[in-house]
Structure 1
């Protein structure tokens, strides 16, 4: 088994195909916005394939034809707009029925002004469809995927917890809420969508002070901040160091193309 620099066996790998969050960071492509890829226990999953997901996958050496699943946390375009093209890559141009698509009912059916994100054609291309809500658990091979709640402007927005050889948490978009840390206890790595630095708030999104509270209460093995807005991009590294100092938990700020090895001591 592969080991990290400290000799700890690597049980999962995370690759960031983009770290932009918020409309202006995304539409101006100040950072890329292709989502992120999890490899664990022989499976490869693409989460939140936003604008440029195909381009960034090629740029950063991710072969989307080897994907086993596509997951979308919510219907906002910066998390979902390239879903159909990534599905086409996973299914060999929709010619081989394979893999799965997992998301919420807004992504599949539309609601409150949102159109469905994925066409019937692309739904038929995948082998399995999972429409989930908070509390639902889907087993894919040796990986258990739990949908967890968010407090976001998309009414059915989700976070996820992946349990296999490692336990990986992902907040999705949204504000911090009091019961949130309980969903992520026991995570080896927690990915946090952190739009703004600690001095600046924005409704229905998290800033780095919220991230600090979440990390302190959830107590993951490590935390990774990403999904940065314009005001956070140049301060992300500083904010991560501040959080690590405050919590004593290793915290890093993701960058486009970053690979993170996750292991269990």
Structure 2
């Protein structure tokens, strides 16, 4: 059994800057390892609020170099490595670790030295660490080096990160038991380089995971819209589909 805890479900500037939904990222417990995906603004506070000890972390994964995905990365690494140096791992996009064009690196050399292992992944590349296999999945997003993740352990967990739907995307998530999709807007209200619920339906329908969860909601997905859209997706695809809520815990 694997477990997810949502430390935040907000996306888009208005939601993030007003904290209409929290933005602390996702905690994944899989094969005895505790991982923190995309520790955005407030990750430390939300972890405390929901009873998660970040000192237990085995690894941190940061999908791309946008503030709502990385801002608490260094403080989460501080928590993970508090007991000793050279502990835990960080897997991230190239821009997060090395910078790229208009993006500077966002994790300092000081914090990288605390880690037992770190690596920048490109789409299609994979790494084996702490008994897990982690694949970088492709995205189409403003940050050109951005990736999603397919994490294989006792279960297989997929996370799209920020991307629009494109025909090749389902091929990277076909093994997923649980697929978490960043879905900014409802169907018919597309925003470039982001997923709407129409694209999410296409992805879920082709991948057919055992469980799909939408998160990273912009303003147009609040006030019950996300729940309406997930009901529609479930009816259309036959796949159990949930709308994430701040603090929600799901086992799969």
Scaled by the length of structure 2, the TM-score of the pair is 0.98
Residue in structure 1 matched with residue 171 of structure 2 by the alignment? 182
Residue in structure 2 matched with residue 12 of structure 1 by the alignment? 2
For 1:109-148, list aligned pairs within 5 A: 109-148=98-137
Structure 1 runs not aligned, ≥5 long: 1-10
1:226 and 2:248 matched: no
1:50 and 2:45 matched: no
Q: Distance in 2 between matches of 1:35 and 1:53?
A: 7
1:194 to 183, 189, 194: 183
Residue in structure 2 matched with residue 90 of structure 1 by the alignment? 80
Q: CA shift at 1:141, angstroms?
A: 2.6
Q: Is the 8 A contact 2:86 2:117 kept in 1?
A: no
For 1:69-80, list aligned pairs within 5 A: 69-80=59-70
Q: Distance in 2 between matches of 1:121 and 1:46?
A: 20
1:172 and 2:158 matched: no
Q: Distance in 2 between matches of 1:14 and 1:216?
A: 22
Q: Which runs of 4+ in 1 moved over 6 A?
A: none
Any idea what the Cα deviations from partners look like across 1:23-47, whole Å, max 9, x if unmatched? 1100100000000011011100000
Q: Distance in 1 between matches of 2:142 and 2:101?
A: 10
Q: Distance in 1 between matches of 2:77 and 2:130?
A: 19
1:257 and 2:244 matched: no
2:143 to 154, 163, 179: 154
Q: CA shift at 1:110, angstroms?
A: 1.3
Q: Distance in 1 between matches of 2:177 and 2:100?
A: 34
SS at match of 1:37: strand
Residue in structure 2 matched with residue 4 of structure 1 by the alignment? none
Residue in structure 1 matched with residue 233 of structure 2 by the alignment? 243
Any idea what the Cα deviations from partners look like across 1:120-140, whole Å, max 9, x if unmatched? 111111110111111111112
| Length, aligned pairs only | 251
Any idea what the Cα deviations from partners look like across 1:99-148, whole Å, max 9, x if unmatched? 00111110111122111110111111111011111111111232111111
Q: Is the 8 A contact 2:162 2:194 kept in 1?
A: yes
Q: Distance in 2 between matches of 1:151 and 1:39?
A: 27
Residue in structure 2 matched with residue 5 of structure 1 by the alignment? none
SS at match of 1:57: helix
Scaled by the length of structure 1, the TM-score of the pair is 0.93
Q: Distance in 2 between matches of 1:186 and 1:87?
A: 29
SS at match of 1:107: helix
SS at match of 2:217: coil
Q: Is the 8 A contact 2:59 2:90 kept in 1?
A: yes
